[in-house]
Amino acid sequence: MTAVPVTRHVVVMGVSGSGKTTVARGIAEATGLVFAEADDFHPEANVTKMRSGTPLDDEDRWPWLADLAQWMAEQAAQGTSTIMACSALRRAYRDVLAGGPPSVFFVHLTGSPELIEKRIFARTGHFMPASLLASQLAALEPLEPDEAGLVIDVAAPLADIVATAVRAMEALVPGVG
């Protein structure tokens, strides 16, 4: 019997504009985890829907979430640790993601709606319009006590957010890249 390598899998979650990609890339740089942007896994139909200002429904999300979980599971099977930027707004979505690799640690980025809206308006080249922020905030289900993870306010400096997340991850699975 072959031993399964110990890996860690992190999902940086939150509403659009919370800084998921920036924080996940910072954690990847600090730890060597392989980065993935969940938005890159969306089929074109989902992207078109969001660009038009129409929120995705669960029928749009389930296959996408299953693909994300499968990608993390495949990486784990190869002994590769991962970090992913993914909204993961609802517990049911996080449960699908957590069903892929042996374990998933969530970093929930949160902040005031005003700050997040300001960030959305400031960015360029993203398909998610600010008009969908309200629907994301309404759908958001905070991490529950039985979910491995932590909540970080995005008003803090980026370096502090990354350092806090890395310390929490290290406490969970020491020495795993």
> ∠ CA(100), CA(105), CA(110), 5° rounding?
120
How far is residue 15's CA from residue 137's CA, in Å, rounded to a whole number?
A: 7
Q: Which residue is associated with the tokens 């730890």?
A: 31
96 Cβ contact partners less than 8 Å away, ≥ 6 residues apart: 62, 65, 66, 68, 69
| pLDDT value for 171 | 83
The C-alpha torsion from 58 through 24 and 102 to 93, rounded to 10°, is: -10
Map tokens 């929930």 to a residue: 108
pLDDT value at residue 67 = 96
Q: How many CB atoms lie within 10 A of CB 96?
A: 17
Could you list the pLDDT tens digit for every one of the 177 residues in the chain? 566 678 999 999 998 888 899 999 999 999 999 999 999 999 999 888 878 878 788 999 999 999 999 999 999 999 999 999 999 999 999 999 999 998 899 999 999 888 787 766 665 555 555 556 677 888 899 999 999 999 999 999 999 999 999 999 888 766 655
The whole-angstrom separation of Cα 152 and Cα 160 is: 10
Amino acid letter, 142: P
pTM: 0.88
Q: Mention the CATH class of domain 9-172.
A: alpha beta
Alpha helix stretches (DSSP H) within 87-177: 91-98, 113-122, 133-139, 158-172
In the chain, what are the domain boundaries?
9-172
